[in-house]
């Protein structure tokens, strides 16, 4: 069961309803920029984690300025499109509401509130710098995933290049492991992954588990492949992109 910290109270609560039913995840992204994009990414992760747990989700986006540009940037990062909250009536019988908001913005009065710290650094220096960071969207997505959502993410050329190198290495490794006989995800590895993302959506710990799987000497390559493919259902990094490309 996914549990999340409610920014309004500081309490840890269930992100899914106690009774089975629809959960509404609403991303509040007020303008076009990297911090708003991070809000959408956290909402995307929440939707993925809830769906992996079997919870039906209704994903919505609300905002006022720069929404067309923001939606285009989100699509570039592999964030699935959210419905426009201004075009839809509420009250469709959802059993839980989770709001994802940038820290410092107005907090909705209902449901659970998930706070997201801002993005700082070189990509915030100008709209052009932010658009340049979108030239390698998967690396940007990984960089944004690498810090706890309550910690400000510092993005600059060095951070993005390191994320790009990690992503390229993982994709090559996944393509190599795929050549070996498939093996199931080890139970203890699956347990650590689920425990991480169900504990307040701790994606940095999920990435730590992947790094351990990458270098573990006691795992067959087929199990590594299945582990990375399974985890990518949450991360959305297209880790299997290079399958069939190695000579």
All domains in the chain, ordered by first residue:
3-155 (3.40.50.620), 163-235 (1.20.120)
| pLDDT tens digit sequence for 1-25 | 899 999 999 999 998 876 678 899 9
Q: What is the pLDDT of residue 21?
A: 80
**Tokens standing for 203?**
């994606």
Check residue 164 and give its pLDDT: 95
pLDDT for the residue numbered 247: 54
In 142-180, which positions are buried (b, 16+ CB within 10 angstroms) versus exposed (e)? Answer: bbbbebebeebbebbeebbeebbebbeebbebbbebbee
pLDDT at 128: 85
Q: What mean pLDDT comes out for the span 209-227?
A: 96
- Reported as a pLDDT band with limits 50, 70 and 90, residue 246 is low
Q: What number is the average pLDDT over the span 155-180? A: 95
Give the per-residue pLDDT at 180. 94
Q: What is the pTM of this model?
A: 0.93
In the predicted structure, residue 123 carries a pLDDT above the cut 80: yes
What average pLDDT does the chain have? 91
Q: What is the pLDDT of residues 136-148, one digit of tens each?
A: 999 999 999 999 9
Among the ranges given (99-103, 123-127, 185-189), the one the predictor scored with the smallest mean pLDDT? 123-127
CA atoms within 13 A on the CB side of 93: 5
Query: What is the band of 31 on the pLDDT scale with cuts at 50, 70, 90?
Result: confident
Model confidence at 221: pLDDT above 90 = yes
Close Cβ partners of 112 (under 8 Å, ≥ 6 residues apart): 4, 6, 8, 13, 15, 96, 97, 98, 99
209 vs 105, higher pLDDT: 209
pLDDT greater than 80 at residue 93: no
Of residues 87 and 166, the one with the higher pLDDT is 166
pLDDT on residue 198: 95
User: Could you report the per-residue pLDDT of 33-74, keeping only the tens digit for each?
Assistant: 899 999 999 999 999 999 999 999 999 998 777 688 889 999
């Amino acid at each position: 069961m996914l549990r999340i910290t409610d920014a309004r109270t500081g309490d840890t609560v269930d992100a899914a309803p106690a009774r089975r039913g629809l959960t509404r995840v609403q991303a509040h992204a007020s303008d076009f920029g990297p911090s708003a994009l991070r809000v959408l990414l956290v909402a995307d992760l929440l939707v993925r984690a809830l769906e992996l747990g079997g919870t039906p989700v209704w994903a919505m986006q609300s905002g006022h300025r720069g929404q067309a540009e923001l939606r285009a940037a989100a699509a570039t990062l592999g964030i699935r499109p959210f419905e426009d909250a201004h075009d839809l009536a509420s009250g469709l019988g959802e059993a839980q509401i989770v709001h994802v908001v940038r820290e410092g913005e107005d907090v909705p009065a209902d449901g659970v509130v998930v706070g997201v710290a801002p993005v700082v650094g070189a990509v915030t220096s100008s709209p052009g710098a932010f658009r340049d960071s979108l030239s390698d969207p998967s690396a940007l997505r990984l960089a944004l995933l690498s810090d706890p959502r309550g910690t400000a993410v510092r993005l600059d050329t060095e951070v993005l290049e390191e994320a790009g190198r990690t992503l390229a290495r993982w994709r090559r490794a996944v393509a190599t492991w795929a050549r070996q006989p498939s093996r199931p995800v080890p139970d203890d590895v699956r347990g650590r992954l689920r425990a991480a993302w169900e504990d307040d959506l701790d994606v940095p710990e999920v990435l730590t588990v992947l790094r351990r799987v990458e270098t573990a000497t006691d795992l067959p390559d087929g199990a590594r492949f299945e582990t990375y493919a399974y985890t990518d259902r949450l991360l959305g990094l297209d880790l299997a992109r290079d399958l069939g490309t190695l000579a």
